[in-house]
Amino acid sequence: MHELAVAQALVEQVDAVIDQHQAGCATAIRVRIGPLAGVVPELLATAFPLAAAGSRMERAQLEFAHAPIRVRCQTCGAETEAAMNRLICGACGDWHTQIVSGDELLLESVELETSPTPAS
């Protein structure tokens, strides 16, 4: 539901990147969203065209980087993959773990068009 708000924030950020590099438009946008970020990539992909309509990224391709959930155990030190609602250590089963990845909500990179492409 809140993915539209996230899409609008994404458009603002990419807009700033376009300005910063004095580019014409963005052609690809790569984001990394972990399952624990609370944002559903499919819904963001649906909301993005609405937020991007009329902007300099309306033709940009939105790409998602895979971000598996990994936890590091504070008891045994192992780093293991974990399920979204079972963030316990895969080696010793202790729940005193820290998230290493899987909660990211990042704009990783943007591809910009720096010179006009010939009309097709």
Partner 1 sequence: MCDTCGCNLTPGNKHLAFKPVAQGATAVSVLKGLLQKNDDQAGHNREHFDKRGVLAINLMSSPGSGKTALLEATLTALKDEFTCAVIEGDLETENDAERIRAKGVQAHQIVTGTACHLDAHLVHDALHHMRLDGVDILFIENVGNLVCPASFDLGQHLNVTLLSVTEGDDKPAKYPVMFRAADAMLLTKTDLLAVLDDFDPDKAEAHLRNLANPAPVMRLSARKDLGMDAWLNWLREQLAAQRARVAIGQSRRPAIQSDGMKYHSVTA
Which positions touch partner 1 (CB under 8 A)?
Answer: 1-2, 5-6, 9-10, 12-13, 17, 20-21, 23, 27-28, 30-31, 33, 36-39, 65, 71, 84-88, 95-117
User: Smallest distance, Å, CB 107 to partner 1?
Assistant: 5
Where b means 16+ CB within 10 Å and e means fewer, 38-77 reads ebbbeebeebbeebbeebbbeebebeeeebebbbebeeee
User: Smallest distance, Å, CB 100 to partner 1?
Assistant: 6
Which residue, 54 or 104, has its beta carbon nearer to partner 1? 104
| Residues 21 and 56: beta-carbon distance below 8 Å | no
